[in-house]
Structure 1
Amino acid sequence: MPMASADHPGGDHEDNPNIQSPRHVVRKIFAEPRKHGDGATVRRSIGTPEMMDLDPFLLLDEFSIPHTGGMPDHPHRGFETLTYMFEGALGHQDFFGNRGIIRAGDVQWMTAGRGIVHSAMPASAGSQTGLQLWVNLPSKDKMIEPTYHEVRRNDIKRVAVPGADIRIVAGEAFGFRSPAYTKTPILCLDVEMKPGAHLRQPIPAAWNSFVYLAAGEGIFGGEKCSPVSGHHALVLGEGDGLSVWNESGEPLRFFLFAGKPLEETVARNRFFVMNSEEEIEKASEDYRTWKNGYENARDWKSETQITTYD
């Protein structure tokens, strides 16, 4: 069993003695629904004018895609994406020939690196819902070769602690490392807490962190804080861990994200994330002229609709 490291922390339940300074909520953002792509609806918390990024995190979307919608062919460079499904199924195709379908509880990890063109289209007759997280790459890795992999639900470690059930979606906790590999060290935990439960989770003091509430109501940071409900992102301040209480009569589901900051300048547009505007312009030119990683874009086009339904 792999143990926690400095870059991938472990965890414990509410009796963990190592949390001396619980992190408090320093910013609360409500993720308003907005239209995106071809018929999709997203609730974006990180990656808006209110909060453009939280180093190393660039974007967090809670998405809903009808079977008639989707995200047609588009390019990326300079960052990684993690897609985690709640319901339905989402099909991926890219110009390297990678194809796959992720369903409820599955994870797709894509490192765009120097360049990739891909699509994300519905593969279920119903609605496809989940989260997509963008994680920045350090300047030394922005032009690496792209990679892509999927992690099935049964391969994601599930840990039971008093009052809570936790899935280790990315990074390392409780002595287990997620199969979802990240160039930039991060932690992503999917936490479901029973009514009346209290949970503590260590976070490296030097890492930035935030919480996204998917369902229910919880108290974060201190017992005297006000409860917060679903579709809110909570940016956490300094400290060595998170304390959470579920004092409601319903289950609470939230995601804890923590990451090692890169401390580099960020330049971005809809598709590319680099370190300068000149690099963004170069990425756009490379995509338009099919070079420096985009050679396959000249002759490639995905299927307009993935029709492998459940």
Structure 2
Amino acid sequence: MTLSNARHGVERRLERIIDLPAPVQGQFGPAHTVVPVIQPEDYALSDPFILLMDDRIDGQPIGGPHPHAGFETVTLVVKGGMSHDSGRLGERDVQWMTAGSGVIHGEGLDRPGEARILQLWLTLPKARRWVPASYQDISYAELPVRREPGVEVRLYSGSSGEVRSPTQNYVPVTLAEFLLEPGATVEHDLPHADNGFLYVLEGELAVGPEARALRPGQVGWLDRPGSGGDSTLRLTGTTRARALLYAGPPQREPLVSYGPFIGDTQADLMRVMDEYRAGRYTHPPRR
């Protein structure tokens, strides 16, 4: 049952809690393992989020420059640091890259060692699928912060309370980090129609009117009560906790994919592969 909140309308709850598998061998050599959090085949349920991989590295991964087209990548460094074509990301920093019309980019660790990186693939609206490529580096130290008793909400994108992020979006996505002390509670407003999920990095949360427990190793998907108006998500720290909220409006357009390319049709995929082979892709400029 979805309950009402007098100030903010419908209160969101956890509809699905998925227990994630243990890390498996990744594609970038023996130093790389990965936990698949969202898979492309589940896009009908996860729209606008195509894929989320929780990459774990212990040593020196093997990789190099590679292409993307037709979507955005949102790369969050949970632990360690990484370099990319035009700079570096420190711990808890984010790169928001619009692959759009096509890019070649490379990324790697500052030095061999331990790291943990979350990479999200985010759809673009059909009308903006092939926009010029670009990127934004988002520094954790410069994030807008909402503070409540025992709570800090840091915004990579979107808004919380009266605080708003300056990050530019094609799809209006919320990406927020919640830090809660034991027993502290915060309410966060979301549009009714937003699809979203919580990913706990440390500790344990109680979520929604039923206070369902969510902890590391799980992904918690919010219910989708309908369109129009606002809704509220209530989080309480069962222990000291750190969690990420990803939320955004479904685009409701079918996608096709092949490797690092996303399109609306198979003809799109053939075209972008031909453009890549013809050497038309370059490193993305700063947005």
Q: TM-score, normalised by structure 1?
A: 0.80
Please state if 1:175 is matched with 2:166. no
SS of residue paired to 2:11: coil
Distance 1:252 1:74, change over 3 A: same
Contact 2:43 2:49 (8 Å CA) reproduced: no
- The answer for the alignment partner of 1:145 in structure 2 is 132
Give the Cα separation in 1 of the matches to 2:267 and 2:152.
Answer: 46
Matched AA of 1:243:
R
Corresponding residue for residue 7 of structure 1: none
| Secondary structure of 2:141 counterpart | helix
Match of 2:228 in 1: none
Structure 1 letter corresponding to 2:170? K
Q: What is the aligned counterpart of 2:219 among 216, 233, 255?
A: 233
Matched residue, 2:247: 258
Partner residue in 2 for 1:196: 183
Please tell me the residue identity of whatever aligns with 1:261: P
Contact map agreement 1:156 1:179 (CA 8 A) in 2: no
Change (3 A) 1:236 1:71: farther
The alignment status of 1:100 with 2:100, answered yes or no, reads no
Return the alpha-carbon distance in structure 1 between the equivalents of residues 187 and 109 of structure 2: 37
Q: How does 1:14-25 map to 2 (within 5 A)?
A: 17-25=6-14
Q: Is the 8 A contact 2:197 2:221 kept in 1?
A: yes
Q: Which residue of 2 aligns with 1:96?
A: none
Runs of 4+ in 1 over 3 A off after TM superposition: 48-53
Pairwise CA distance, 1:71: 4.0
Q: CA shift at 1:230, angstroms?
A: 0.6
Q: Which residue of 2 aligns with 1:124?
A: 111
1:37 — aligned with what?
Answer: 27
d(CA) in 2 for partners of 1:152, 1:17: 36
Whole-Å Cα distance in 1 between the matches of residues 62 and 153 of structure 2? 30
Q: Is the 8 A contact 1:26 1:236 kept in 2?
A: yes
Deviation by residue 1:86-136 (Cα, 9 ceiling, x = unmatched)? 22111112xxxxx11101121111100110011111113421223222211
- The structure with the greater share of residues assigned to strand is 2
Q: Following the alignment from structure 1 to structure 2, what is the Cα–Cα distance between the partners of residues 104 and 135?
A: 22
Show the 5 A alignment for 1:59-78: 59-78=51-70
Q: Which amino acid aligns with 2:132?
A: E
Aligned residue pair count: 271
Local SS of the residue matching 2:205: strand
Distance 1:49 1:266, change over 3 A: closer
Q: Distance in 2 between matches of 1:233 and 1:112?
A: 26
Amino acid at match of 1:242: L
Using the alignment, how far apart are the partners of 2:40 and 2:265 within structure 1? 19
CA contact (8 A) 1:207 1:260 kept: yes
Kept after mapping to 1: 8 A contact 2:203/2:242: yes
What is the CA RMSD across the aligned residues, in angstroms?
2.1
Q: Which residue of 2 aligns with 1:165?
A: 152
Could you say which residue in structure 2 is the equivalent of 1:275? 264
State the AA in 2 paired with 1:85.
V
Pairing of 1:203-242 with structure 2 (within 5 A): 203-223=190-210, 225=212, 227-239=213-225, 240-242=231-233
* Structure-2 change in CA distance of 1:22 and 1:105 (3 Å): same
* Seq. identity, %: 28
Q: Separation in 1 of the partners of 2:125 and 2:134?
A: 16
Change (3 A) 1:53 1:101: farther
Deviation at 1:24, TM superposition (A): 1.9
Q: 1:24-53 CA distances to partner (integer Å, 9 max, x unpaired)?
A: 222222332223231322222112545676
Take 1:17 and 1:71, find their aligned partners in 2: how far apart are those partners? 52
Preserved CA contact (<8 Å) 2:146 2:163: no
